[in-house]
Amino acid sequence: MSHREEMVQEFCELVRIPSLSGHEGRLAAVLAGKLSEIGLTVEFDSAHEAIGGEVGNLIARLPARDPARPTVMLQSHMDTVAPGEGIRPVVADDCITSAGDTILGADAKAGVTVILSALRRIVAEAPAHGELQVVFCIAEETGLNGAFNLDYSRISPQYAFVFDGGKAAGQMTTAAPSAYKITYEMAGLAAHAGVRPEAGINAIQAAASGIARMRLGRIDHETTANIGLIGGGQARNIVPDRCTIKGEARSHDEDKLRSQVAHMQLCLEHAAKEAGARLLEPQVEASYRCFSLPQDAPVVQVARRAAETLGLEPRTEIGGGGSDANVFNERGIPAVICATGSEGAHTLQERLDIEQFVKCADWLVEIIKTAGS
């Protein structure tokens, strides 16, 4: 069986194992067995106890063949979004898709497969390398919870390569934004909608008026904002006295982020005052912090040199979403996000380009050889 066929077969095996956030136990057991067979020592932390999951983060190690070289972390995540049960991978036209009724799960099982494939080749070829620490996190999709609760006393990398996105081998994300989750509660006054509507204060209408005033979507090249959920009311014939609004804001600039959050709140406050409603104290929660790696950062340079060695075009990008890399960079571990050959994450149209997928594994092998050389 060719290297390409092995990767396709293993990827299809992994995506058939359901692993929605908080339910990664079965997949974790399979991955622990695979890593042990390759020759790594495997353990789990207790991150799941903090978030109510089945299993903790998987942590594995391959000893250094050259202790003078840096310790490198290879990372991806085990969980997927819904609909992620009963996945039937379809291999056709040099790509892999789902059957159309679920996601594919390439986010991030393509990254997991890339790491497994590269480790097998490193063990077989036995080049000089530093210690390799492999971390497969839980609950990334529900707010990077596995990375936030990772037992950092068990790892000690100088830098990390996070395989979680991007289609073309050689593509790297070197910056990502900070994000806030925001929940607002608009309070009005209930009344019979047919008998005495003028006695009520419509909380949904007040909320809608506030939302209509907001700058949303792409604010500028660094900042985005969204209202994603709105709900309230008790019945068709009752003027609603409550409305809940849930949104988010992201920016690569912390001052712009704070300004956007303040703007969204002010819009709702003005709307509440006009309607005679009340805006209750908003709940603003930081999701993750931004990071930006310079082009001369060692982790970026290693990935770039490895890509060039293989004849790939190294390309750095600024991301718009969050990943475990945000947490690692915040914890002082320089981490770059590397491509896996996939696109269309979180949709039924998710697909994996097989050629790029295989090249990403080649790229990781070369990254490991290049690190510290």
Active site residues: 79, 140
State the sign of the Cα–Cα–Cα–Cα dihedral 365, 367, 371, 373.
Answer: positive
Query: Which of left, alpha, beta for 263 (phi over 0: left; psi -120 to 50: alpha)?
Result: alpha
- The DSSP code for 158 is S
Question: Which residue has tokens 């042990």?
Answer: 36
Chain centroid to CA 61: 23
Query: What number of other Cβ atoms are within 10 A of residue 90's Cβ?
Result: 14
Query: What number of other Cβ atoms are within 10 A of residue 245's Cβ?
Result: 25
Residue 143 vs residues 2, 116, 169, 362: alpha-carbon distances, Å:
37, 25, 26, 30
State the amino acid at position 79 in one-letter form. D
- Answer yes or no: are the C-beta atoms of 40 and 60 closer than 8 Å: yes
Pinpoint the alpha helices (H) of the chain: 3-15, 25-38, 48-51, 106-125, 145-148, 203-213, 254-275, 298-309, 324-330, 354-370
Query: What number of other Cβ atoms are within 10 A of residue 278's Cβ?
Result: 16
SS3 call for 357: helix
